[in-house]
Amino acid sequence: MSGSFFKRSLSLDLILLLVIPLTLFAMLSGWFILNTVSQESESHQLSVLTVLADEKAHAIDNYLTDQLAVIKELSKNSVVQASLPLLTESFMLGRGSQAYQRHAASVNGFFREFQTRWDYYDLFLIDREGNIVYSLQHEADFATNLRRGPYKQTGLAQVFNHSIDFLQSSNSSFELYHPSAEAASFIATPVVSDAGELLGVIALQLNARQFNRIVSNLDGLGESGEVVVGRQQGGEVTLISPLRFDPQAAFHRVIHVSSDIALPIRRASQGYGGQGHLKDWRGVEVLAAWVYSPRLNAGIVVKMDAAEALMKLALIRDKVFIFLVVIFMLAMVIAMYFSRRISRPFMALRERVQQYVQGHHDVRFDPQHNKQAEVSEMASAFNVMADHIQQTERARESLIADLAENNRLLDHRVEEQTEHIRAIIHYALDGIFTLDAKGTILTINPAMVQMFAYSEAQLLGKNITLLLSDQSRQADGWVNGAGALLDQISEVQGVRCEGEIFSVELSLRKLSILDQTVYMGMVRDISERKKRQQFDVDQLRIMELIADVSIPLEAILEVIVRAVQEYNPALLGSILLMDKEGEHLIHGAAPDLPAAYSEALEGVKIGPSVGSCGTAAFTGEPVIVSDIDHDPLWADYKELALQYGLAACWSQPIKDSHNRVLGTFAMYYKQPRSPGKKDINLLLQAVAIAANAISRKNADQMRINMQSQLEHMQRLESLGVLAGGIAHDFNNILTVILGNAAMAERKALLNPHATQGYLKKIVVSSERAADLCKQMLAYSGKGKFVVIALDLSSMVGEITNLLEISISKSVILKYHLTDQLPAVEADASQLQQVIMNLVINASDAIADKSGVISISTGVMHADRAYLSGTSLDDALPEGRYVYLEVSDTGSGMDKETQEKVFEPFFTTKFTGHGLGMSAVLGIVRGHKGAIKLYSEEGRGTTFKILLPISEQAAEVVLPAAVGEIYHGAGKVLIVDDEETIREMASMMLEDMGFASLTAKDGLDGVNVYRQHQPEITCVLMDMTMPRMDGKTCFTELRRINSEVKVILSSGYNEQEAISCFAGQGLAGFIQKPYTPEALQLKLQEILG
């Protein structure tokens, strides 16, 4: 080891590392052991002292209770029992009396023996009044009274009182008793005779010697132990027994209660128990335990000097200390040994390293020399390091040579790449340039030179603002450096050398090349792209125009031509259209061609060599004429063209999707010119748009034509439906007219006045017929579309008759028409057709079952949501609408049918054309209304038509104005739904002598027949009736009476009518309208 002992070294660290924890640990455990042991030892000693104190109290208590037991026994002794009354009695005579002396003498022996045996100081007999009537010692107390006498405050008096009052034995505590001039304690007990009489009290004076002997027994208290007994009286504690270290203490040593010494005896005499480690009255540290003795009314303290009590502890402490020192020394020795052992190899290593540093590079360790693994590894590591340094030295030299070669190769590659980049810039299509911070052009590539049409020399060294339009220069403000243009692609206006302004895309970046700030920029000519975009926008606008049916074709074509011209201002566009025959070209649009030129060409006949357009229209192929002057196709027209300065004309035929030529699109130029790829594209595109526009307009025209045809066809169809009904109805009317007329004719001969009624009926019926005709005419009305403001409710009212005859007889029509409806602007005949169609469809939906069709009108508010749910959503405005609703209780429609119901030629009927509902839709659309459909399968269908409210009031439409001899017998039942028929028939029958019964339909008929069957000879029955038709009614009647005679009367012809009753026993048939004669003949024929 080198260096001083205190210098930090490995050895010192090792020593500290071993010694400090060991010493700390030893000290800590030593302290802990000592602490625990001393605590345990003290608590053990205190427990021992407490036990001793308890035992001491126990011993004193036992001593006193023993005495009490003795005196109790004594009180029962026959000598005492016998002598006490005698002595009491004789004492009254005087203590010197003979009687007393005799009695006293007789017991003296007994009591003396008792006293000596038990070592009492004195014995007293006391009468009930407190007189001491007997005493062994005859001290001053004898013959005094304990209640009143001089000793009434003594212990003897206390125990006497206790015995006599409470009939209990007791003891007093030790205190100085003056008659005896020493400490004394008394015990006393009542003397009760066997007869249960209280005779007096017997008392004993205890000897202090015996008590002190018990107190002074110091067994187990060693050399320093002491017992202290003290009694508290007033504010002081008086010791009542001698102390080990103060034999004169009894009744001499007094401790004040509030004193700060002798805590144990103070506490104990006050009635507390306890234990503790404290200083006693001598100022010596002691361990003490204390208790209170109630019988003695005193505290007892047992104490022992701490030094003695804890002597063993001191021994243990010494041993622990020696043990610690030994451990410390041992730790030092071990630590030093190991530190030497560990540090020695490091010394050797240091020597070798020093040698190496001095230049002995061949110095090496012998790894086998050291036994410790770490040191041996370190030696090997040293060797490896030395070897490694030698190798590294050599490697470095060869590395330098390699680097030189590498540098050369790198130079070559840099050159190559620079060339590469230069070529990219040179051949780029975009202009590339660099600027300095002020905007001066530093470099420029050929594309840039070409784009701006300057020479390179003209631009280098100039400011970049030279190339920007005034507007861009101001807007983008080059002045403050690159400003807003930096780091983004912006669109600016460039200026070419000759002053042409064009759009360029400019991108600009700030670069730092070799600490110099440079701006690098790229420009791209986007003028072409811009034009293109404009054209696309135009194209979209044109598409919108095409979609608008209200804009005429010519206007659209003109817009197309203008858009093309805008794209290329050098050209003049022209569109010529093919006429209907496909032989001539007529004017389409040519806004900028001279009007005279266009007029000259109007109606030109197409042919194989008729200029560009005529030829193109003829062949269907594009015709490109680059120079009109020299082209043979233009031989006939070139003068005309040249006259207006037109030098070139390219024409492209416009064709529809079926490749039919619709016209041509021509581009004229004022200079001879061949089209480029861009020109051809533009031409084709323009042609496509024009083709679209022309085709669409043609299609619109066709659709309008179709629609009017469709409506016409539909009207015809519904007329067909009407015709059947009308024929039937007309027949009914005619029946009435004929019948009444015949009756009038017959009556006229006899009584002209009686014909009045018949004639009136004829007139009424005729008026009805006329009305029907009028309605029919109005309906078929060849109606022009005449829009007037009208009241929907009154309009429905006008055609009620038509509606009723159009529907099945088993269907009931109900009207819910709102009065005072706002007017709608509509064509009356078209709306009538709508209602007709809906009602007929409703009737068909009910088919031959019974059902109800309701027609309602009213006003409602329709919001957007409601309008969206209609079948016609032409963006109608929200608001109030007049509605017409037709609903039926028929079969309803499934979803699929609902979707198709408005399509033309869709039908569910066997004989339908499928045009009714599409016509309805067309009409409603024409009135700017909406139609809503609700349908539920099996429940029925409702169509609701909404019409916009007119601002005009309804025009007042006048309400539409609305007719021998056989003697039969018996009753005839007339079953017919027409009241006039029933009335007329019964009139005719009564005239013939028949009685008549009427029923308004089949069901009613069956009921009436059932009631009046016996009287009824014949039934005259209509065929079509609501609720129950003729056929069913007939079957029912046959069920009641198989012989029933039924004459069928119908407006249909006989074959048709009776075919349904074939072979069923129909009595006869009579065609409506019938005359009374015809009826009479039929009845005669059947009834005979």
Partner 1 sequence: MLLIMVGVAMLWWLMPEKNRSPIRVGVLHSLTGTMAISEKPVVDATLLAIAQINQAGGLLGRKIEAIVVDGKSDAAVFGREAERLIVQEHVAAIFGCWTSASRKNVKQVVEKYHHLLFYPLQYEGFEASPNIIYMGAVPNQQIIPAVHWALTHLGKRIYLIGSDYVFPRVANWLIRKQVQLQGGTIVGERYLLLGTQDVDATVREIAALKPDVILNTINGDSNLAFFHALAQAGMTAQDWPVMSFSMGEAEVASMKNKLPMQGYYAAWSYFQSIDSVENRTFIAAFKQKYGDERVLSDPMEAAWVGVQLWADAVRNANTDSAAVVSQTIQHRSMHAPEGTVSIDHATHHLWKKSLVGKLLADGQFEIVWSSEKPIAPEPYPSFVSKLAAKQYMTTLQQGWSGRWEAVRPAKVNQP
Residue 738 burial (10 A CB sphere; 0-12, 13-18, 19+): buried
Tell me: does residue 235 bind partner 1 (CB under 8 A): no
In the complex, the smallest distance separating the C-beta of residue 20 from partner 1, rounded to whole angstroms, is 9
In the complex, the smallest distance separating the C-beta of residue 198 from partner 1, rounded to whole angstroms, is 5
Tell me: does residue 234 bind partner 1 (CB under 8 A): no
Would you give the DSSP letter of residue 912?
A: -
In the complex, the smallest distance separating the C-beta of residue 396 from partner 1, rounded to whole angstroms, is 48
Nearer to partner 1, 52 or 921 (CB): 52
Q: Taking contact as CB under 8 A, which single stretch among the options 111-119, 290-298, 384-392, 675-683 is the one that binds partner 1? A: 290-298
**CB-based contacts of 269: which residues, under 8 Å, 6+ apart?**
230, 231, 232, 237, 292, 298, 299
Cα 459 to its chain centre, rounded Å, is 66
In the complex, the smallest distance separating the C-beta of residue 152 from partner 1, rounded to whole angstroms, is 13
Q: Taking contact as CB under 8 A, which single stretch among the options 222-230, 271-279, 369-377, 1009-1017 is the one that binds partner 1? A: 271-279
Distance between CA atoms of residues 217 and 224, nearest Å:
13
Nearer to partner 1, 270 or 1007 (CB): 270
Distance between CA atoms of residues 835 and 795, nearest Å:
10
**Where are any strands of DSSP class E within 870-939?**
879-888, 930-936
Would you give the DSSP letter of residue 4?
A: -
Cα angle value 862/867/872 (rounded, 5°): 135
Residue from the set 115, 205, 297, 1017 that interacts with partner 1 by CB under 8 A: 297
Tell me: does residue 489 bind partner 1 (CB under 8 A): no
In the complex, the smallest distance separating the C-beta of residue 159 from partner 1, rounded to whole angstroms, is 12
**CB-based contacts of 414: which residues, under 8 Å, 6+ apart?**
none
Contact 343, 10 (CB under 8 A): yes
Tell me: does residue 527 bind partner 1 (CB under 8 A): no
Q: Taking contact as CB under 8 A, which single stretch among the options 100-108, 286-294, 436-444, 839-847 is the one that binds partner 1? A: 286-294
Distance between CA atoms of residues 747 and 136, nearest Å:
187
Backbone dihedral region for residue 924 (phi beyond 0: left; psi -120 to 50: alpha; all else: beta): alpha
What Å distances lie between residue 945 and 785, 826, 862, CA to CA? 19, 13, 12
Minimal CA–CA distance to 841: which of 778, 915, 922?
915
Coil, strand or helix at 722 = helix
Helix axes 828-846 and 916-926, enclosed angle (nearest 10): 150
**CB-based contacts of 829: which residues, under 8 Å, 6+ apart?**
778, 779, 781, 783, 786
Q: Taking contact as CB under 8 A, which single stretch among the options 294-302, 504-512, 611-619, 1066-1074 is the one that binds partner 1? A: 294-302
Residue from the set 54, 139, 236, 558 that interacts with partner 1 by CB under 8 A: 54
Nearer to partner 1, 22 or 852 (CB): 22
Distance between CA atoms of residues 241 and 183, nearest Å:
9
Minimal CA–CA distance to 645: which of 633, 664, 628?
628
In the complex, the smallest distance separating the C-beta of residue 32 from partner 1, rounded to whole angstroms, is 6
Binding mask 152-191 vs partner 1 (x if CB under 8 A, - otherwise)?
------x---x--xxxxxx------------------xx-
CB atoms within 10 A of CB 503: 18
Residue from the set 58, 352, 531, 928 that interacts with partner 1 by CB under 8 A: 58
Tell me: does residue 13 bind partner 1 (CB under 8 A): no
Tell me: does residue 272 bind partner 1 (CB under 8 A): yes
In the complex, the smallest distance separating the C-beta of residue 216 from partner 1, rounded to whole angstroms, is 20
Token pair for 474: 């101001």
Nearer to partner 1, 162 or 253 (CB): 162
Return phi, psi of residue 819, to 5°: -75, 160
Tell me: does residue 591 bind partner 1 (CB under 8 A): no
Nearer to partner 1, 175 or 436 (CB): 175
Residue from the set 3, 7, 10, 32 that interacts with partner 1 by CB under 8 A: 32
Q: Taking contact as CB under 8 A, which single stretch among the options 268-276, 341-349, 501-509, 924-932 is the one that binds partner 1? A: 268-276
Tell me: does residue 549 bind partner 1 (CB under 8 A): no
Type of residue at 1082: K
How big is the site for partner 1, counted in residues (CB under 8 A)? 41
In the complex, the smallest distance separating the C-beta of residue 51 from partner 1, rounded to whole angstroms, is 9
Tell me: does residue 22 bind partner 1 (CB under 8 A): yes
Distance between CA atoms of residues 474 and 397, nearest Å:
65
Residue from the set 5, 8, 78, 196 that interacts with partner 1 by CB under 8 A: 196
Token pair for 605: 């006949």
Tell me: does residue 337 bind partner 1 (CB under 8 A): no
Distance between CA atoms of residues 352 and 367, nearest Å:
13
Nearer to partner 1, 53 or 821 (CB): 53
Residue 317 burial (10 A CB sphere; 0-12, 13-18, 19+): middle
Residue from the set 7, 10, 16, 24 that interacts with partner 1 by CB under 8 A: 24
Residue from the set 197, 456, 528, 899 that interacts with partner 1 by CB under 8 A: 197
Residue from the set 132, 184, 240, 291 that interacts with partner 1 by CB under 8 A: 291
Token pair for 588: 């389409």
Q: Which residues bind partner 1 (CB under 8 A)?
A: 21-22, 24-25, 28-29, 32, 36, 47, 50, 53-54, 57-58, 61, 65, 72, 158, 162, 165-170, 189-190, 192, 196-198, 270-273, 291-295, 297
